[in-house]
Amino acid sequence: MEEMPKTYDPQESEPELIQKWMEAGCYQRSKGVGDCTVVIPPPNVTGILHMGHAMDDTIQDTYIRYNRMRGRSTRWILGTDHAGIATQTKVDKKLKSEGISRLQMGREKFVDACWDWTHEYGGTIVSQIKRMGCSIDFDDEKFTMSPEYAKAVRKVFCDWYHDGLIYRGKRIVNWCPSCKTAISDDEAEYKDEKGHLWFLRYPLTEPVDGIEYITVATTRPETMLGDTGVAVSPQDPDKQRFVGKTVMLPIVDREIPIFSDWHVDAKFGTGFVKVTPAHDPNDYAMGQAHDLPQINIFDETAHVVDGYGEYSGMSRDECRTAVVDWFEEHGLLDHIEDLDHSVMHCYRCGTALEPWLSEQWFVAVDKLKERATKVVTDGEVTFHPARWTQTYLTWMENLKDWCISRQLWWGHRIPVFYCEDCGWEDALMEDPAECPRCHGHHVHQDEDVLDTWFSSQLWTFATQGWPDHPEQMEGHHPTKVLVTARDIIALWVARMIMSSLYFTDEVPFHDVYIYATILAKDGSRMSKSKGNGVNPMDLIDKYGADAMRFNLLTLITTNQDVKFDANINRKTKELLGSPRTEQARGFVTKIWNASRFVQMNLDGYVPGDPKAETPEDAWMLSRLAKVAASSTQALESYDFGEYARSIQSFFWNEVCDWYIELCKGRLLDGTPEERLQVQRNLVFVLDTSLRLMHPVMPFVTERIWDSLPASGLDDHSAQFLMVAEWPEPERFAGFVNERAEHEFELAKRLVSVVRSTRARYRLSPKASLDVAVRCPEEDCQTLEAQRDFICRVGRVDQLALGAHQDKPAGSVSVVDGRLEVFVVVGGLVDLDAEAKRLQKELAKAEKDLASVTRTLSNEGFVAKAAPEVIEKKRAQKSELETTIEQLRAQASDLA
């Protein structure tokens, strides 16, 4: 058996293991009892790994590895999304840098350029996912623009078109003047901006009670060119006398009516609201209800169209300035107020979106939403955590028809064809050579492409052979769980459920796990522009993939978001350090060192069954059985954070700090029989622990497991740990020993008190101490039975036990549960000097706390200081409070 190296090098071991696993076919689908098929949320083909991906992929790989070890049929499907807007934007920028115009080169050549781009840059994120250790099937990669996937997309469109679920109509959409395409409501990003509320006077065509004009309030004076009405609230009695009257719209001299509508908030502005049906969703609804003309005053680049004199050709901002100037010049600008408001922006380019009336393709969702709602309320699809169920249901309740057309060239082109000769129109699975009605040859295809989410909604079944080979889905659909972010519950999760129910008559997945959003350490959103984004590959390069993965899982709690502690050089974007990831690396090192110690002490080892020969053996095997059960339960219920934290606590605090330490005596000084049995126990405990930790930390556990001999309950026949058996709770049930745990834990607590007292008073770990314990009689009996263990491990000379035990002279007292422990330190510590030292430290800590508290109470400081400075001060305050509490407790001991 080759000795393990002194140190573990993840940069050397991790790529080597990835290669071995892949060459052995470990990543490919496995056969077993019960199905665990998972589809990866397809990242953008030209994207790179970010912390959200790292969290998502770590969770999925942990779950897949766990299920593979349990002998279930596992399939993890890899794929990427063509990312219509994102990819077209990148290719556009590349061409412009080369002095080439997309319009000049034409659609066909531009699409070829997009394909070239995806081939050149599309593999980056896949290689990064591989480097993370994700055991996904890289030999079966899918792509939303592949021929077989494109056929599935086309079938969905054609079927819905012919079933009356897809229609074309002229409606208000969110338009990006920069990308020149429609954007869905869910993809729009709201940004808070400082703006104004302009109060403009509109002259009445005839005075009302001597009033010659009304005043409207608007955040967008430029759109008044397209006003076709003025509305008031039916709950505003003072305004009802104006209903039925008209005003003469300034600049354009258009006579428009005043009417009453429930959309109007009587408390907004003056109570008079200008109505521009072609440039506001609410105005559009009012226009429909009151039969108002829809006048689109902007072109696709948000410049004023022809017909408006000097304003034609102006941008939105230019037109706003010119309109306000005109109103002021003509005495019709009443006044201006400051106003902070939220403005929708394009999620890709950041341009302010324009509500714009245009002809688009829509999915009528009313025929789809009812069943998609029912499968969630009935529990056929379950959200984890459960609070996201209501988010889904609320969105479904308010769901509007889905705009699926995008004015792009890269993407799935809408398969609707038109005959210019006879007016024929239809959606077809194949491109027609001629018009099927008149046999004319002037047939053209719709210019638009489909929304990216339209194609990705088919992900669970279009990646598994549908529609041509539905037999490939048998046993793998519905998939087990979808792991995704909360911000695409509406964009993706809901649409996947609707389409899967319609085309497969099945839900796409049984469970939806929504992971927490990873924020910067100050609680703000990570972003490149802020310079606070963390590159997962930098973490892997610095700490190893195991450490990054383990840290990510430990961050998961029941809270909605998590803060990632990392120091970033804002100028160079360099990762300076991540304290918690460094701690996770420390855990990896702890696992390695403890395992190496065991391996180095296996001379003469012969496999055999573990046995509880001592109290610590019985305690350890019982704890091991319980952790196997709790880890299994946590992973079955998607409690990934609790799983990671509990196995760390178990292995570090119980296996390493206690059991291995307690076994050293038998390893070094025990009889041959004692030595062999403790070797068998250690190998068994270590082997089982490695299996429990493997799903989240696959590399270090695999490397160690390969260096270990077979344990008693396993012949080590598996080639790799990743395909070895999971420690099934039923198999370990016989080791559970509640009495042994209780008795050992009591003795362990007493030893811990003695050790902490030594550390508190800076005594040598080898110094023997006298100890007295006051506790209930039954506890005394338990401790008496373990007197030898307590005295040997705790280095206790004299141990007195009793329900009415007196406090010895020169002793300090520590209360731990039902134990009141008196440790005699009088002969080793100057208690008077120690008391004075504690009082001095306490006074200083209290003074420092008062100073920090004053600083944090200063509103000026909190308003102006950088978030990281405030966070540091708060951490300092918390630390000082803890220190003061500890010092007061120590001073009380000496009183």
Binding-site residue set for ATP: 528
C-alpha of 195 from chain center: 33
Q: If DSSP codes are grouped into helix, strand and coil, which group holds residue 143? A: strand
Asked if 344 and 356 touch (Cβ cutoff 8 Å), the reply is no
Instruction: Give 3-state DSSP helix, strand, coil % of the chain, rounded to 5.
Output: 45, 20, 35
Asked if 539 and 581 touch (Cβ cutoff 8 Å), the reply is yes
Residue environment code for 8-29, b if the CB has 16+ CB neighbours within 10 A, otherwise e:
bebeebbeebbeebbeeebbbb
CA distances from 781 to 3, 24, 746, 784, 803 (A): 44, 56, 11, 5, 10
CA distances from 891 to 109, 158, 839, 841 (A): 81, 80, 7, 10
What's the CA gap between 439 and 429, in Å, rounded? 18
Q: How far apart are the first and last CA of the chain?
A: 58
Q: Dig out the tokens for 58 from the structure.
A: 């770590």
What's the CA gap between 784 and 746, in Å, rounded? 11
Contacts of 111 by beta carbon, 8 Å cutoff, 6+ apart: 409, 410
Contacts of 325 by beta carbon, 8 Å cutoff, 6+ apart: none
Q: Dig out the tokens for 90 from the structure.
A: 């990148």
Helices 640-648 and 672-693: crossing angle, nearest 10°? 160
Bond from prior residue into 776 cis (ω within 30 degrees of 0): no
Contacts of range 797-804, beta carbons closer than 8 Å, 24 or more positions apart = 797/768, 797/769, 797/770, 798/770, 798/771, 799/770, 799/771, 799/772, 799/773, 800/770, 800/771, 800/772, 800/773, 801/772, 801/773, 801/775, 802/772, 802/773, 802/774, 803/774, 803/775, 803/776, 803/777, 804/774
Bond from prior residue into 467 cis (ω within 30 degrees of 0): yes
* Type of residue found at 451: D
Residues making up the annotated binding site are 528
In angstroms and rounded to an integer, the radius of gyration of the C-alpha atoms of the chain is 35
Q: If DSSP codes are grouped into helix, strand and coil, which group holds residue 297? A: coil
Closest C-alpha among 830, 689, 825 to residue 757: 825
Closest C-alpha among 51, 351, 395, 53 to residue 189: 351
Contacts of 107 by beta carbon, 8 Å cutoff, 6+ apart: 409
Q: Dig out the tokens for 164 from the structure.
A: 């009356």
Helices 672-693 and 579-600: crossing angle, nearest 10°? 150
Q: If DSSP codes are grouped into helix, strand and coil, which group holds residue 581? A: helix
What's the CA gap between 872 and 220, in Å, rounded? 43
* Type of residue found at 42: P
DSSP 766: T
Look-up: residue for tokens 């519905």?
478
> What stretch of H or E contains 824?
strand 819-824
